[in-house]
């Protein structure tokens, strides 16, 4: 079955540590996204990528970094510069957006990150 | 903030009743989407309505869109316990902005 796999499901970070969240899709989608969800809030966009080797900052990119070396993979690194990283992180993918239309997104089941 | 609002933020109904959720957005759009999120899971796409459409149906779901008021509503008819979830609207052009969601509880 096609879908998006996020791992790990739970992750703990120590002070001053960088951690990387994995996101893999086998839907052959060009576009991929990372969102952060805090309790009682909607999703906020961290980074997105429309094509391999290219990505753009979203609304809350500070303290995060990404890479897009393969179409299937879009890992997110939460750096030590992100002072409040505790949240639920969701990865999504879609067929490529155009300038005039966004497309339905398929989501993984998330990674819950906590601070030790 | 470009986030809109959804109301109510929480809704509790009996099984078999209808549930209506509303979404207000702030920017111009070419389409608006509705998603469902079960607790601890990712979002699942439900329905997309284009800016030139006023109403769209999918099974027990009915979505309306009023671009003059920048608002949309999602109606779930004959609700079931399995409909218990949070529901989000999303809008935008190249990237989707999501509302804060409505948490629906359907009591068996």
Q: Taking the alpha carbons of A65, A77, A9, B107 in that order, is the dihedral positive or negative?
A: negative
Q: Which of residues 43-82 of B touch A (CB under 8 A)?
A: 43-45, 48
Cβ within 8 Å of residue A74, ≥6 positions away? A23, A25, A32, A34, A49, A55, A66, A67, A68, A91, A93
Q: Nearest C-alpha of chain A: how many angstroms from B97? A: 8
pLDDT at B38 exceeding the cut of 90: yes
Section B43-67 average pLDDT: 96
Give the model's pLDDT for residue B27: 86
Point out the least confidently predicted range of B27-31, B78-82, B87-91.
B27-31
Task: Return the percentage of chain B with pLDDT > 90, whole number.
Answer: 81
Note whether B43 contacts A43, CB cutoff 8 Å: yes
Section B95-99 average pLDDT: 88
Q: Nearest C-alpha of chain A: how many angstroms from B45? A: 6
Cα–Cα dist B104/B98, whole Å = 17
Place of tokens 């999703």: A43
Point out the least confidently predicted range of A49-63, A86-100, B14-28.
A86-100
Give the model's pLDDT for residue B93: 72
More confident of the two residues A99 and A17: A17
Confirm or reject contact between A39 and chain B (CB < 8 A). no
Confirm or reject contact between A107 and chain B (CB < 8 A). yes
Confirm or reject contact between A108 and chain B (CB < 8 A). yes
Q: Which residues of A touch B98 (CB under 8 A)?
A: 35, 42-43
pLDDT at A2 exceeding the cut of 60: yes
* Nearest to A1, CA basis, from A25, A30, A35: A25
Which helix (H) or strand (E) segment holds residue A30: the answer is: none
Task: Return the percentage of chain A with pLDDT > 70, whole number.
Answer: 97
Give the model's pLDDT for residue B1: 43
């Amino acid at each position: 079955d096609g879908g998006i796999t996020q791992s790990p499901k739970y992750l703990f970070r120590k002070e001053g540590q960088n951690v990387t969240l994995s996101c893999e899709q086998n839907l052959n989608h060009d576009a991929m996204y990372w969102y952060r969800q805090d309790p009682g809030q909607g999703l906020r966009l961290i980074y997105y990528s429309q094509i391999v080797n290219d990505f753009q900052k979203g609304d809350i990119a500070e303290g995060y970094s990404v890479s897009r070396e393969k179409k299937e993979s879009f890992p997110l690194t939460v750096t030590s510069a992100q002072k409040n990283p505790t949240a639920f992180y969701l990865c999504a993918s879609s067929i490529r957006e155009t300038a005039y239309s966004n497309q339905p997104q398929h989501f993984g089941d998330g990674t819950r990150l906590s601070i030790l | 903030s470009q986030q809109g609002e959804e109301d109510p933020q929480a809704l509790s109904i009996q099984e078999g009743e209808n549930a209506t959720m509303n979404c207000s957005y702030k920017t111009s759009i070419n389409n608006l989407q509705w998603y469902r999120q079960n607790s601890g899971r990712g979002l699942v796409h439900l329905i997309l309505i284009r800016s030139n459409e006023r109403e769209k149906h999918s099974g027990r779901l009915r979505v309306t869109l009023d671009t003059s008021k920048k608002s949309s509503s999602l109606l779930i008819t004959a609700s079931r316990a399995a409909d218990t979830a949070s529901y989000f609207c999303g809008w935008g052009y190249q990237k989707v902005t999501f509302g804060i969601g409505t948490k629906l509880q359907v009591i068996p």
